[in-house]
Amino acid sequence: MHKILFPAVLICMLTLVSCNNTGEKEAPAKDSLKTGEKKLPDLPVSKDNASFELKTNVSSATAKGITLVLENDNKLTLDKYPQYYDNGQGDDLTETVEKSTRDSAIRCLIDVDQDNTPELFTQYYTGGAHCCDVSDVFTKTSENTYKRICHYRGIISPEKNGISLAFQEDLGYFSTCYACSIEDGFKWPADVERDIKLELKNGAFSYAGKSDKLNEGIEADLNALKARGIPNIKEDDMMDDGTRKEYAVLLVTYYFNTDRDLAKTKELFLKYYNNADKNKIWKDLEEYLNSKTSELKKNIKFQ
């Protein structure tokens, strides 16, 4: 099974504060807020540097004393984030959601860049078919104040020195149905992680360096897909069994692991994709790659 990073995969095992869902019986806000001033334990990382699920470790009382600064300089306290439908107004970077969504949002302090000052992660589910998770990363700018440096429509998982972004939801209907999958009976030779990795340093992100090992695994998986065969799509159907979606996911991973080199990505696509509809599929994939790159540039603070 893919190593796709959904919230039920792994557990945030930090010991800086309780990782249980919050209640008013937890530690007083003034104690919790001192967390960033203390020596924090290293973020636990497994042998393959896997990501960890976010889980609330900020109490409701503590959240009331933390100020968030958004990109448009709007300020609100963490307990009121995300904003709910009080006036029905919102924009791309200021969500408006139901109150129940806000109250169930995950709020987690994790020191991903190992500088002894934890970053603040939030994550919430807005509802909808086959979507919609929203994740944010905030960095501490002053006592009890955090500025947003990442707003992402999808799952963010913390890793040592950075984060990984899940993007598979975007491609759920890529020439197929959302539930369509080739998993049954198919074995991936490498079964590589499908995600976008970013590193965090000095309050800003950068794309993680190229991993040759990952690209070798991607080629192995693409070769297995090619050997399996690419089913034709009937003119009145417009959907396959999930094969084209798997190609897209692997090639998006390759693109972001190869300095967003569109020419190299197309070269790899043509090497392993030999169906007659290759021009159409590449056009759709190229459109997604350009759109995704623009989206990340807009909503994430890069160095």
Q: 175 and 239 in contact (C-beta within 8 Å)?
A: yes
Name the average pLDDT for the chain: 82
Lowest mean pLDDT among 4-8, 230-234, 278-282, 294-298: 4-8
CA-to-CA distance for 282 and 168, rounded, in angstroms? 17
For residue 93, which of 107, 75, 77, 72 has the smallest C-alpha distance?
72
Q: What share of the chain is helix, strand, coil (3-state, %, to 5)?
A: 30, 20, 50
pLDDT tens-digit readout, 50-75: 566 788 899 999 999 999 999 888 89
**Can you give the pLDDT at residue 143?**
93
Does residue 49 carry a pLDDT above 70?
A: no
- Indicate the pTM of the whole model: 0.81
Task: For residue 113, give Cα distances in angstroms to 41, 123, 150, 281.
Answer: 12, 19, 15, 38
Lowest mean pLDDT among 96-105, 128-137, 265-274: 96-105
**Can you give the pLDDT at residue 125?**
85
Q: Give the pLDDT mean for 82-88.
A: 59
CA-to-CA distance for 132 and 123, rounded, in angstroms? 11
Token pair recorded at residue 153: 């429509």
Does residue 175 carry a pLDDT above 90?
A: yes
Question: For residue 131, is the peptide bond before it cis, meaning its omega torsion is within 30 degrees of 0?
Answer: no
The strand ranges marked E within the chain are 67-69, 75-77, 83-84, 96-97, 106-110, 119-125, 133-142, 145-152, 156-159, 162-165, 196-201, 204-207
Angle between helices 212-228 and 262-272 (to 10 degrees): 30
Task: Return the biggest CA–CA distance within the chain.
Answer: 64
CA-to-CA distance for 223 and 190, rounded, in angstroms? 11
Pick from 1-15, 75-89, 215-229 the range whose average pLDDT is largest: 215-229
Domain boundaries, the chain: 29-165, 171-299
**Can you give the pLDDT at residue 98?**
65
**Can you give the pLDDT at residue 136?**
96
**Can you give the pLDDT at residue 9?**
32
Q: Give the pLDDT mean for 92-100.
A: 57
